[in-house]
Amino acid sequence: MQVLVTRPQGQEQGLMAALGQAGYQPCHSPALLIEPLPVTAAMRRTLMDLDLYHGVFFASPNAARLALSAMADLWPQWPVGVHWLAVGRATAAELGQWQLTAEVPASGFNSEAVLALPCLQDIQEKKVLLCRGETGRELLAQTLQARGAEVSSLAFYRRQPNPGFHCPPGCDWAMITSVESWHSAASGLPAGCGVIAAGERVAAQIRASFDGTVITAASAHDDDMLAALPALQ
């Protein structure tokens, strides 16, 4: 059974290895290209005030890698008393590479799960920094503001559709982890190819424009995406 992984370049290795070990035939073509954005003087001024923030949130491994690289240039030692927040395990692992211990949801790995973290409940007049891509959901920022937090957002990259995206003929399943990935990959899927969607929100968007089989994984985490695949015969 051939399975296409559509994660960005450099983020596919773990899932590809897990698929191969489970007996599937994995292949990879990124649906999106990641373009780092320049760190402006205004962004650096915000990053110099990290010690004033109650929490710093990273929306993806790319956000963590690029933001922490910029932060490390300004902070030889990380400020104390900051809650370092990651959307999921892969992002938390990136923080670990920088000797930071992330607070991460036990499950869900989305904005709703992050909003349930204990440190984000009583945040009236506290500052929260969101490190993210240029586009994405606004639920986290809007909800934190409604709770009384002072929210700042910095974009460290943009996602671009990959013009070279290719799904092999005869591919059985494509793994789609975001709505933007679906928009880029949808027209390139061969007839008969099903979709494993990361979470119900992504699955609902796919079903709105796709007549094929869609299976909803519990989250975008490698283990959940693998568990959603039909068993090998």
pLDDT tens for 71-118 read 999 999 999 999 999 998 889 999 999 999 999 998 877 889 999 999
Same domain, 40 and 151: yes
Report the pLDDT averaged over residues 206-233.
93
Same domain, 194 and 117: no
Q: What is the pLDDT of residue 193?
A: 97
Task: List the domain range (segments joined by +) for residue 152.
Answer: 35-159
pLDDT tens for 117-165 read 999 999 999 999 999 999 888 899 999 999 999 999 999 999 999 999 9
Domain boundary among 141, 159, 177: 159
Domain boundary among 159, 187, 203: 159
| DSSP track, 13-64 | HHHHHHHHHTT-EEEE--SEEEEEPP--HHHHHHHTTGGG-SEEEE-SHHHH
**In a domain? residue 41:** yes
Report the pLDDT averaged over residues 51-70.
96
Q: What is the pLDDT of residue 4?
A: 98
Q: 59 or 106: whose pLDDT is higher?
A: 59
Which positions ≥6 away from 38 have C-beta within 8 Å?
A: none
CATH number at residue 81: 3.40.50.10090
Same domain, 140 and 43: yes
Number of separate domains in the chain: 2
Give every strand in the sheet of 194-198, ordered side by side.
Answer: 25-28, 2-5, 173-176, 194-198, 214-217
Same domain, 143 and 191: no
Distance of CA 185 to the CA centre of its chain: 17
- Cβ proximity of 9 and 31 under 8 Å: no
Same domain, 96 and 131: yes
**In a domain? residue 233:** no
Same domain, 101 and 81: yes
Burial per residue of 27-37, b for 16 or more beta-carbon CB atoms within 10 angstroms, e otherwise: bbbbbbbbeee
Q: What is the helix, strand, coil percentage profile of the chain, to 5?
A: 35, 25, 40
**Nearest CA-CA partner of 185 in 67, 33, 82:** 33
Same domain, 63 and 151: yes
Report the pLDDT averaged over residues 45-73.
97
**In a domain? residue 102:** yes
Domain boundary among 159, 178, 198: 159
Same domain, 136 and 177: no
Same domain, 7 and 106: no
